[in-house]
Structure 1
C-alpha cells in the first residue's frame, strides 16, 4: 500500500523521534505541508524516559551554541525549559573545572553559558513544543526499513508497523535522525551509492551515572568537573556533577580500560575518590543517592562522511548522531544536532517556496557537516592522546597542536582572554582556528597572568552551605 502527498503540499518524513528528530521536524515544518515522524517506540506523555535512549541516564548539557540554535528553531523553548527547572549556568562564572593544566578561575564576567537539565526533561519540552504544531504528527511503533527511489532521487520510505506489515510512504524530503543505529549506509548501498568513508575512534571510556538529592538548593549552584589527564601513567578517569531540576545532582563518573567504574552502588563514591582531585567525592558525601548506578560502554566517536560522497540523491538529509556520535564526556551531541537542524532550516528558508529545491539535499548535507567538523576536531583531538584509544594515533601535527592547546589551557587558568578564547570554541560558537589568532597566541606566549589556584574555587557562600549540610551516615 502506498500513501502519497497531495499535489499542492510537500511532505517531509523524519526517521526517529529523538531530540534530533524533533528538531529536524521544527526545521522543516514551516516549509512543507506536513511532517511525519517515524518512531519505533511509544513516546512518553511527560518528562519520562524514552525507550531506546540508554545514554539518557548520563550527564547531558546544552552548550550555548546549541541552546541558541534550539531557541532559534523553537522560540521560547529555553524559557520554558528554565521555567520547568532547568539551570542556566554562566561560564566560567559558575563552573568549577579541574583541567589537566589546573583549576580554571571563575571569572566575574560570564561570556557563555550551559543549560543543564535531565535528558528526559529536555526531550519533553522540545517534543511538546514541536508536536503542538498541527502539521507535525508521530507514527509510533513504526520502523523505517528502507528508502524509496533511486540513486538520483529519494521519494519516500518503506515502513513496517506492528500488525500492519510493510507499507510505503512517499515524501518530498526524508530526514534520517535515527541516531547511532542509522541504516542509511546500507540503504544507500541498495540504491547503488557506495564508497562511504566512516571513522570510529574509541578511547574505551565507560560511563557510570546516578542521581542524588543535593544537600543544598541547586539554583545558582556550579557545575563541577574533574577532567582526565592523558599524560598521567594511569587509566584516564573523570567525573562531574551537574545541577538539574528538582534540587538534584546528576553525577557521572568515567574510566578507561584498567580503571573503569561498575554498576556496584557501593563502589560508586570510592571510584569518585580516585579522580585527580577528590572534590566530587567530597560533595557526594553530603548527598543522598536516589537511583541505582547506570553504566554504558557505548562512548566511541563515530562519523559517516556523507558530505564527501561523489553522488548524493535529492530528497535525503542525514543529521544528528546518524551523521556523527561523540564520546559523551565532551557534551556535544545535542548541540551539534541543533546546529545541523538550524542549517537545514536556513537553506529551506532561503530557497523557493513550495518545498525542497533542486540541489538542496547536497547543500544541506554539507551544511550539516560544518558543526560536525568543529565538534569532531574537539572530541577526537582530545581522545587520540589517551593510550587506550583505538582507531587513530596522534601524528606529529596532532602532538604539536596538543602541546599548544595545553599551554593555552594552562594560560586560561590565570588569563581571562585565554579562558574566553577556549570557551568560544568549547561551546561550539567559534572554529578552532580562532585559537591561533595573534592576540590568543600572544596570551599563550605570555602565560597565566595570575597564580594557579591550589584547590577548587568554591565561593565562601558555597563552602558555608556545604559545611552546614550534614554528612550522610555510612
Structure 2
C-alpha cells in the first residue's frame, strides 16, 4: 500500500494492487500475514518513513486514535538484555508505536484508499509478462483462464511467499544468489485483557542471549489497542515455546527473569496460543544480478526477510517504498531507463543494516542453519556486547543503541566519538539487579502475581 501511494502521486495513470487474500473491512487477521498474530513494533525510523510517504494523512494520529500506544524507549520500556536490565531515563528518546499488525495494515490501507486513486483486486499473480529486457506486466489467474495484465511498472511486494526467483528464471534470468540463515525460531503469542490498574505498566521484554551457547528464549508483554496485552514468546531450535496454555506460562517463568510470567499469571487470557514458524532470515541478492529487466521492482520481504524477533521488517519495507518515491521523482516517471535497477540498489542498501543486526546474532545460536560467525562478526559482536553492557548504566551508550535499533540512524551511529567513549568507559552507574520499576509499578506486579515466584 505504501508503494501504491507513492506511485499514485508520481503521475501514474492507474495503480492496481493485486492480492490473493480477501482483505478485511476492519483490523482483522488475514492468511497472507504469517506473523500477523505476533508482536510487531513500528520503530521510529519506520514511522517517520511512512509519514513521509503519506504526507498530511496523520498516520500517527490515526493509529493512536484507534488505540495504538506510543512507547518511549528511554522511559516507557523495561528491557532485560543479555548484559542485564537497561536503566530507564527521564529524558526524551525514540518513540515506537505498538498495536496489532492487523490494526496497522488496516489503518494504512484505509488512509491510502481515502486519499489516493488506488484500486485493489483480489487475484493471485502466477508470473511475469515480458522478457529479460523488460517486464511488461503480470500473468494472473482468471476464471476463464490465465491472462496478462499489462503495466509500465511492476512492484513485487508479496512478502515472504514471493516467487520472484522462479519468475525471473522464467524470463531467462537465472542464477540469483540467495542466503538463508535459520535459527529455527518459533513464535508463540497470546492476547490478554489488561488488568485494572495495569493500564500504564511499561512494555516489558526479556531478550534472548546470543552469547550463552544456549537456544534463544525470549518474551514480551506489549500493550495493544482495545485494552489488551499481546504476549509473544520466541525460542530458537531446541528452545521452542509450547502451544498449550500451562506450558506457555511456564515458559515465561523459566526465562532469566520471570517478570513476564508474573504479569500474565494474574491477567485474563482472551485467545488461545498461536504458533508460527515462518521466521528465517532470507536475503535475495537481486541487486547483484548482472542483468535486470526494466519495469520490475522488488521491495520489502520479497527482497529480504528477517527474523521477526528484531522488529525491523516493516521499517525496512517503508524505507524501500521511500527509495521508490525518491527515484520516481528524480526520473520523472515509471518508464525512465534504469529506474528499476536504481530502486533495487537503493532498497538493498536499506536492507543491509537490518540484515547485519539479525544475522550476526542468529548465527550464534545452537543448531542454526546457513551460517556461523566469521572474524568480522566476532569483532562487531564484541563491540556491540560492550556497548550493551555500558548501556545498562550509561545514557550515552543507551542512546546510541536506541537510535540504531529504532532505525533512526545507520549503524555507524555506534562509532560516533561519544558512543565509542561510552562503550570504552563502561557503565558509570551500577547495572540494575532487578527490573527498574517505580514503586507504583511494583505494587501492580505484586497484585498480579499468582505464581509465588
Contact kept, 8 Å, 1:211 with 1:291, in 2: the verdict is: yes
Relative to structure 1, the CA distance from residue 315 to residue 283 in structure 2 (aligned partners, 3 Å threshold; closer, same or farther) is same
User: Which residue in the other structure is 2:130 paired with?
Assistant: 149
Contact kept, 8 Å, 2:281 with 2:305, in 1: the verdict is: yes
User: Which residue in the other structure is 2:324 paired with?
Assistant: 344
User: Which residue in the other structure is 2:95 paired with?
Assistant: 113
Tell me the SS of whatever aligns to 1:199.
strand
Contact kept, 8 Å, 1:216 with 1:247, in 2: the verdict is: no
User: Which residue in the other structure is 1:166 paired with?
Assistant: 146
Aligned-residue offset at 1:164 = 3.2
Superposed structure 1 runs of 4+ greater than 6 Å apart: none
Tell me which of 370, 391, 409 is aligned to 1:412: 391
Relative to structure 1, the CA distance from residue 194 to residue 470 in structure 2 (aligned partners, 3 Å threshold; closer, same or farther) is closer
The worse-fitting range, judged by mean Cα deviation, of 229-238 and 437-446 is 229-238
Relative to structure 1, the CA distance from residue 199 to residue 216 in structure 2 (aligned partners, 3 Å threshold; closer, same or farther) is farther
User: Which residue in the other structure is 2:59 paired with?
Assistant: 77
Aligned-residue offset at 1:464 = 3.0
Distance 2:406 2:312 in 1: 8
Contact kept, 8 Å, 2:80 with 2:86, in 1: the verdict is: yes
Distance 1:186 1:82 in 2: 41
Relative to structure 1, the CA distance from residue 218 to residue 174 in structure 2 (aligned partners, 3 Å threshold; closer, same or farther) is farther
1:131 aligns with 2:106: no
Pairs aligned (count): 449
- TM-score of the superposed pair, with normalisation by structure 2: 0.96
| Structure 1: runs of 5 or more not aligned | 1-21
Q: Counterparts in 2 of 1:285-364, with a 5 A limit?
A: 285-352=265-332, 354-364=333-343
1:246 aligns with 2:226: yes
Aligned-residue offset at 1:472 = 9.6
User: Which residue in the other structure is 2:361 paired with?
Assistant: 382
Distance 1:377 1:218 in 2: 36
Aligned-residue offset at 1:294 = 0.4
Tell me the SS of whatever aligns to 1:249.
strand
User: Which residue in the other structure is 2:83 paired with?
Assistant: 101
Aligned-residue offset at 1:29 = 1.0
Tell me the SS of whatever aligns to 2:384.
helix
Tell me the SS of whatever aligns to 1:89.
strand
Aligned-residue offset at 1:439 = 2.3
Tell me which of 392, 416, 422 is aligned to 1:437: 416
Distance 1:471 1:387 in 2: 33
Aligned-residue offset at 1:373 = 0.6
What does the per-residue CA deviation read over 1:10-45, in whole Å, with 9 as the maximum and x for residues that have no partner?
xxxxxxxxxxxx111112111111111111121101
Relative to structure 1, the CA distance from residue 164 to residue 221 in structure 2 (aligned partners, 3 Å threshold; closer, same or farther) is farther
- TM-score of the superposed pair, with normalisation by structure 1: 0.92
